[in-house]
Amino acid sequence: MGIFKTRTATGRRRLLSVLAAGIAIGSTVSTGLSAPALAAATTESGTDLSGWTTVVGDGVYAAPGQAPVTSADIAAEDHGTDTRVRANIRNRGIMAHAITYKRVTDPSLMQRVHQGGYSFQMPYVPSTAGGPRNAQTVEGGLFVWDGVTTKVDHGTAFQWVLNPWQSNFGQVSVWTGNSWTRAGYLKPDTAWHNVSFMVDPAKQKVRLVLDGVDLNAPYSRTPKSGWATSVSASLQVEAISLYPGANATTGPQHEVLVRNWSWTRGSTPAEDAAASKDCTFHATQPSGGGGNWNHTYQVKMAADGKFSGTNVIVGLDGGNTVTVNESVTGQITDKDNNGVKEVTVASIRDSGFYTFAWNVADAPMDGVADRMDVGTVSYATAENWNGGELPITFTAAQCSTP
């Protein structure tokens, strides 16, 4: 699976063995694109696949007397609101494989978490009744090729079997690195479907979700030799037209619509460290001993708002001033985009003073230090605490410039 490689004979034979024996398989076209160095994190998106590249893939067959499959047999038509990816557009006695992909090349891609996806739709339901349109498969994936060190293609992909004559019509499979393995079933229809991919080469993790269902895809690694000595990544969609028969003179074309794609390439650990800030913020809670418990947080916060650090709490208890030290982790966000940040924080208190651990989620940071009458009151939860509600307010964070 993938733009950069021809699938192994074992993997492709799992498809072709149900079609015919002894079919010669072509090679995937490899097209090198270059890109400037990436910013710390990059998100791209579009309603159609304008600017993507379409090439002939490896899942091809030409019946005797038919010319080999070429780029003239495939197309990707951009319509603004979607793109129609087509295979065997001349209705020849062939099986054509169209791969439409977006690629970026950058040496940092193996250190980035990639999250991409799109919506796709069959504009017709494949049928044994025949006709000018039918299908073999729809496929898609996200891959990172490391041509510098591991010489391995890292990623994940799915395959939707749409040959109506096959017993596994509607089966969804995932790519293992050398073959397809069954992962579920999706009834062939004309509804829009949503697929999302997550590939984290550094941690060797992937996630593939189709219509909200996690397909439990494995992290696929496919070693290759003779490929480019660069690091590249591709988000792709593929259409393979119906196998027409061993001696066919004509064959149906295949179409799939694709829209609303996005691809986020996250920051690297080094970029996160460079973008991290030293931040201070405060929280206030009423004390049963009089006055307030005053919290002072000093944390190191990353570009995505995640932080770790310490919290020092000072207040009255039993007529004495008490200081409590905690270690904290959490994240500051602005989920509703209203300009007021929210904080989620988990605290660990080794002393066990009233509790060993407590937390609060999505607390607005619009308060004033040592004041319970200003700002939004949130409520914390604490481990083994039975003393009633735990109201708390938070101030905005003050951060240094990295």
Q: What confidence tens digit (pLDDT) does each residue in 178-206 have?
A: 999 999 999 999 999 999 999 999 999 99
Look at domain 276-399 and name its CATH class. mainly beta
Q: How far apart are CA 52 and CA 142, in angstroms?
A: 14
Q: How far apart are CA 23 and CA 292, in angstroms?
A: 79
3-class SS of residue 214:
strand
Convert the pLDDT of each residue in 86-123 to its tens digit: 999 999 999 999 999 999 999 999 999 999 999 999 99
Give the pLDDT confidence score for residue 19 in this predicted structure: 30
Contact between residue 129 and residue 262 where contact means Cβ atoms under 8 Å apart: no
Sorted by sequence, the CB contacts under 8 Å of residue 248 that are 6+ apart come out as 63, 66, 93, 94
Characterize 186-202 residue by residue with b for buried, 16 or more Cβ atoms within 10 angstroms of its Cβ, and e for exposed.
Answer: bebeeeeeebbbbbbbe
Convert the pLDDT of each residue in 17-57 to its tens digit: 333 222 222 223 332 333 344 556 789 999 999 999 999 99
User: What proportion of the chain, given as a percentage, has pLDDT over 70?
Assistant: 90
What's the average model confidence in pLDDT over 345-363? 96
Token representation of residue 150 = 């591991």
**Range name among 120-134, 225-239, 265-279, 336-350 with the lowest pLDDT average:** 265-279
What's the average model confidence in pLDDT over 284-312? 94
Place of tokens 């069954």: 182
User: What proportion of the chain, given as a percentage, has pLDDT over 90?
Assistant: 81
Helix (H) or strand (E) holding 13: helix 9-16
Q: How far apart are CA 316 and CA 96, in angstroms?
A: 77
Give the pLDDT confidence score for residue 127 in this predicted structure: 97
Sorted by sequence, the CB contacts under 8 Å of residue 215 that are 6+ apart come out as 158, 172, 174, 183, 184, 208, 209
Token representation of residue 251 = 């064959």
Strand-strand pairing, 292-301 and 306-317: antiparallel
Beta strands in 180-242 (DSSP E): 180-185, 192-200, 205-210, 213-214, 220-223, 231-240
Domain residues of the chain, as ranges? 9-267, 276-399
Give the pLDDT confidence score for residue 373 in this predicted structure: 95
Sorted by sequence, the CB contacts under 8 Å of residue 131 that are 6+ apart come out as 252
Cα dihedral sign, 236-242-248-249: negative
Q: How far apart are CA 281 and CA 349, in angstroms?
A: 18
Q: How far apart are CA 332 and CA 248, in angstroms?
A: 62
The yes or no reply on domain 9-267 and CATH 3.50.50.60 is no
Helices (H), 261-398: 269-275
Give the pLDDT confidence score for residue 222 in this predicted structure: 87
Beta strands in 106-216 (DSSP E): 114-121, 137-146, 152-161, 171-175, 180-185, 192-200, 205-210, 213-214
Beta bridge partners of 293: 285
Q: In one letter, which amino acid is 336?
A: D
Token representation of residue 283 = 């929280």
What's the average model confidence in pLDDT over 217-222? 96
Give the pLDDT confidence score for residue 334 in this predicted structure: 93
pLDDT mean across residues, the chain: 89
Token representation of residue 350 = 């080794």
Rg (the chain; Cα; Å): 28
